[in-house]
Structure 1
Amino acid sequence: MSTEVIPEHVAVIGGGAWGTALACAARRAGNDVVLWARNAQVVDDINNGIGNPLYLPDVALDAGIRATTNMAEALEDAFAILLVVPSQRMRDVIAPVADFCAGRPVALCSKGVERSTGMLMSEVAEACLPDAEVAVLSGPTFAREVALGLPTAVTLAAEKTWVQDAVLKAVGLPTFRPYVTDDVIGAEVGGAVKNVLAIACGIVTGRELGENARAALVTRGLAEVMRLAEKLGGRAETIMGLSGMGDLTLTCNSPQSRNMSFGIELGRGRSVQEILDERRAVTEGVWSAESVTALARKHGVEMPICEAVNAIVTGNADIDATIQTLLNRPFRAEGA
């Protein structure tokens, strides 16, 4: 690949399925795109016109998407940066490149809470990239559908209008529609917690407990998301939008979701490690279960479904006994 830097391009940091899909959206929006990936095979495949068969097979990529393992090359002269690395690795990836991000919009496109600190991704970014302009891009998205150009809507959260405008320029399309808000916290909490709840819905499906049970989980799970978001300073209206209810609806109703499919296999009796050993892509909810529940406890927020998932995923709790504990909780008002 030539080391010539494309002026005024979109930088996508992360060569997994979601990063590749966002690169497709940015290219369709009329931008030159430079994608950074740690995996040299991913870079070679993209630059040789093969696509990204390791993470997003059978999807053709536009020739205007270039890939590199050189972070500086990807970031230099980018007018917008899409940060699409797993939440638990974000700090390690972005800390060394802080100088390249100064004054530029950095859209956080990964969902989770950092296990070691309990920080939301925006807090991690603000600590590591103090001079960047942080935004959050979150919502009901399956990477393959975005890559193929199928209609999708997401939440774009940023406090500054010009930052919203820059990210809209980077990825906004009739078929990829960001709806803007200044509620960064609400957009983040919805994305982080839904991964944990999707595992719960998968367990219910794998245990064949029925559609009624799954609908109850989604609804009561939404109440947990809202309680945590409001406690941290987010707004209920954001949780009722694309990054909350929308994302929860998608992820908890389709085995295409890595988190739900993980829960299905758990519900069928397989072990956490056995399932993870078969997967190339990261299942964020596995790592977020512990950090989300720790964050909730820290702020005195009751989240029994997330606590149950955490007990199963990290504490090897018996699934049937854990479900029974949830069912035996005291009756209460629905709004409580």
Structure 2
Amino acid sequence: MIGIIGAGAFGTALAVALGTGGRQVRLWARDAAQVQAMQESRRNDGVLPGVLLPENVSIHAEIADVCGGQALLLAVPMQSLGALLDQWPQIDARQPLVACCKGVDLSSLRGPVALIEERRAGATAAILTGPSFAADIAKGLPTALTLATTGDGAALQDLLSTQTLRLYRTNDVRGAELGGALKNVIAIAAGTVIGAGLGDSARAALMTRGYAEMVRLAEALGARAETLAGLSGFGDLVLTCTSSQSRNFRFGHALGRGEAFDATITVEGVATARAVMRLAEGMGVDMPVTAMVDALASGRIALNDAIGQLMRRPLKQE
């Protein structure tokens, strides 16, 4: 049995993919009314309209019901992960704990795996990350992801792979965490460029320079550059900087157009930009794109001023 905590779009999509792949899946949702509705309709139309849950996926209101299996996937937003682990002691080290979120925790400046290891001593902690939209996974479209864990990871890789979900594993946990976190920041910047009408050439330049600072910070924190060149870094960056399915891209697009954005939608890149700037400044790592995203998202700078500051930076070798 595979347990999944979090019946948002990504948690539900993973339940569909794993259930379709023949796994027994138990999915937990916080809201009892949502649980009942999903049990009756076999759908989660609020986040994945029209997608049916396989019969071997059960929906639960009690968190203990989904714990203790072969693996437990934690499909909650990054800024909620610490609170989840603090609130529910039933989430323990009996099974591997796999984070399915991207970002840096604002209070501790830790990534998902480090946060799990801090709260659950002795647990096998991992992160599942990479270029993926929930709708694509739920439809059974081919998707490749990175599974990063400090252990061997082969058994977990086999357990979570299906005919439509292909996992590659790595032991560079820090690199996989940072790739998934930092690309959200650059996606906001890319959306801002397009929303402001600055064109595809500017977006390509922004993505390239953004990727350079992703690698710069990752290496400073002990990650491997080749990890950032893989699915969890470059692959995810391309996806989220070029598609309106990305919430971070849509947020940036609204920012570029000077429009309000739906406050009920989680945009991980905003908090990540703030947390990453605290990390980067403490280490003396130059991250101009991230700095501008943080300043724009917090309203500390106007868009034209941000563009001007980036374009007026000293000329240098690439």
TM-score scaled by length of structure 2: 0.96
Quick check: 230-239 or 44-53, which moved more?
A: 44-53
Residue 119 of structure 2 is aligned to residue 135 of structure 1: no
Three-state SS of the structure 2 residue aligned to 1:276 is: coil
Structure 1 unmatched runs, 5+: 1-8
Give, in whole Å, the separation in 2 of the partners of 1:22 and 1:131: 26
Give, in whole Å, the separation in 2 of the partners of 1:157 and 1:258: 24
Match of 1:192 in 2: 181
Cα-to-partner distance string for 1:249-296 (whole Å, 9 max, x where unaligned): 0000011100001111111112xxx3133x4x3111122121121111
Three-state SS of the structure 2 residue aligned to 1:57 is: strand
Task: Report if the CA contact (8 A) 2:72-2:97 is conserved.
Answer: yes
Give, in whole Å, the separation in 2 of the partners of 1:82 and 1:186: 20
Match of 1:168 in 2: 158
Give, in whole Å, the separation in 1 of the partners of 2:300 and 2:88: 38
Give, in whole Å, the separation in 2 of the partners of 1:50 and 1:29: 17
Pairing partner for 2:229 from 240, 244, 247: 240
**What amino acid is the match of 1:304?**
P
Give, in whole Å, the separation in 2 of the partners of 1:295 and 1:302: 11
Give, in whole Å, the separation in 2 of the partners of 1:14 and 1:164: 25
Residue 316 of structure 2 is aligned to residue 325 of structure 1: no
Cα-to-partner distance string for 1:107-147 (whole Å, 9 max, x where unaligned): 11100111112111112111111121011111000000001
Cα-to-partner distance string for 1:290-333 (whole Å, 9 max, x where unaligned): 11211111222111000000001124410111111001111111
- Pair 1:230–1:103, CA change in 2 (3 A): farther
Give, in whole Å, the separation in 1 of the partners of 2:157 and 2:41: 26
CA RMSD of aligned residues (A): 1.4
Residue 25 of structure 2 is aligned to residue 41 of structure 1: no
Task: Report if the CA contact (8 A) 1:192-1:292 is conserved.
Answer: no
Pairwise CA distance, 1:230: 0.9
Give, in whole Å, the separation in 1 of the partners of 2:43 and 2:286: 44
Give, in whole Å, the separation in 2 of the partners of 1:293 and 1:157: 24
Pairwise CA distance, 1:103: 4.1
Give, in whole Å, the separation in 1 of the partners of 2:136 and 2:231: 16
Cα-to-partner distance string for 1:204-259 (whole Å, 9 max, x where unaligned): 00011011100011111111111111111110110000000000000000111000
**What amino acid is the match of 1:24?**
V
Q: How many percent of aligned residue pairs carry the same amino acid?
A: 43
**What amino acid is the match of 2:35?**
V
Pairwise CA distance, 1:70: 0.9
1:81-160 equivalence runs, <5 A: 81-98=72-89, 100-160=91-151
Three-state SS of the structure 2 residue aligned to 1:131 is: coil
Task: Report if the CA contact (8 A) 1:112-1:288 is conserved.
Answer: yes
Residue 61 of structure 2 is aligned to residue 69 of structure 1: yes
Three-state SS of the structure 2 residue aligned to 1:275 is: coil
Three-state SS of the structure 2 residue aligned to 1:31 is: coil
Pairwise CA distance, 1:45: 2.4
**What amino acid is the match of 1:165?**
A
Task: Report if the CA contact (8 A) 1:157-1:184 is conserved.
Answer: yes
**What amino acid is the match of 2:180?**
G
Three-state SS of the structure 2 residue aligned to 1:116 is: coil
Give, in whole Å, the separation in 2 of the partners of 1:105 and 1:168: 13
**How many matched pairs?**
318
Runs of 4 or more consecutive aligned structure 1 residues displaced over 4 Å after TM superposition: none
Match of 2:282 in 1: 298
Give, in whole Å, the separation in 2 of the partners of 1:95 and 1:31: 28
Three-state SS of the structure 2 residue aligned to 1:11 is: strand
Give, in whole Å, the separation in 2 of the partners of 1:235 and 1:253: 25
